[in-house]
Amino acid sequence: MNFVNLHTKFIYNFHNLTIFYKSIRFYSLIAMESEEPQQIVEGLAQIQTGGKVFYNPVQEFNRDLSILAISTYGMLLQKERSLKTSEEPSVEIHECGKKYDTGLSILEALSATGLRSIRYAKEIPGVKEIIANDISLKAVNDIKNNVNLNKVEHLVSPSHQDATMLMYEHKRENHFDVIDLDPYGCPSIFLDSTVQSIKNGGLLLVTATDMAVLAGNTPETCYSKYGAISLRTKSCHEMAVRILLQCIESHANRYGRYIEPLLSISVDFYIRVFVRVHTGNYKCKYTISKLSHVYHCTGCDSHILQPLGITKPNEKNQSITKFSLPTGPFTSSSNCTHCESPYHMGGPIWSAPIHNPQFVSEILQSASERLGTFKRIQGVLSLVLEELNDVPLYYTLQNLAGVLKLVTPPMTSLRSAILNAGYQVSASHMHKTAVKTNAPCKVVWDIMRCWEKLHPASQKNIANNKVASHILSQTSEQQHSFDIHPEATSQSKLKGLVRYQLNPLPFWGPGSKSQAMVGKEKMQKSRRNQGKRKREESIDSSV
Q: How many domains does the chain have?
A: 2
Q: Does residue 158 have a cis bond before it (omega within 30 degrees)? A: no
Are 276 and 376 found together in one domain?
yes
**Contact in structure between 140 and 158 (CB atoms under 8 Å):** yes
* Residues 50/52/58/63 CA torsion (nearest 10 deg): -60
Task: Show which of 322, 353, 385 is a domain's final residue.
Answer: 385
Same domain, 234 and 94: yes
Residue 37 lies in a domain: no
> What is the value of pTM for the model shown?
0.86
In a domain, 543, yes or no: no
Share of the chain above pLDDT 70, in %: 83
d(CA 118, CA 106): 12
How much is the average pLDDT of 224-242? 96
Question: Which of 25-29, 183-187, 301-305 shows the lowest per-residue confidence on average (mean pLDDT)?
Answer: 25-29
Q: Which of 85, 43, 41 is nearest to 67 (CA)?
A: 43
Residues 426 and 373 in one domain: no
Q: Based on the domain organization, do 278 and 380 belong to the same domain?
A: yes
Angle (CA) 108-114-118 rounded to 5° is 85
276 and 398: one domain? no
Residues 72 and 133 placed together within one structural domain of the fold: yes
Is 311 a member of any domain? no
Q: Which of 479, 494, 509 is the last residue of a domain?
A: 494
pLDDT tens string 6-63 = 444 444 443 443 333 333 333 333 333 345 567 889 999 999 876 555 567 788 999 9
Domain holding 268, by residue range, is 55-287+364-385
* 218 in the same domain as 258: yes
Is 442 found in the same domain as 373? no
Which of these three, 475, 494, 513, is where a domain ends? 494
Alpha carbon 534 to chain centroid, angstroms: 33
Could you tell me if 100 and 213 lie in one domain?
Answer: yes
| 82 belongs to a structural domain | yes
Same domain, 373 and 418: no
User: Mean per-residue pLDDT for 109-116?
Assistant: 94
Residue 334 in any domain: the answer is no
Same-domain status, 395 and 268: no
Q: What is the DSSP letter of 173?
A: S
Residue 110 within a domain: yes
285-289 mean pLDDT: 96
Looking up residue 184, the CATH number of its domain turns out to be 3.40.50.150
State the pLDDT confidence band at 273, using cuts at 50, 70 and 90. Answer: very high
Asked if residue 345 has pLDDT above 60, the reply is yes
What pLDDT score was predicted for residue 1? 45
Provide the CATH number for the domain around residue 467: 3.30.56.70
| Pair (68, 86) in one structural domain | yes
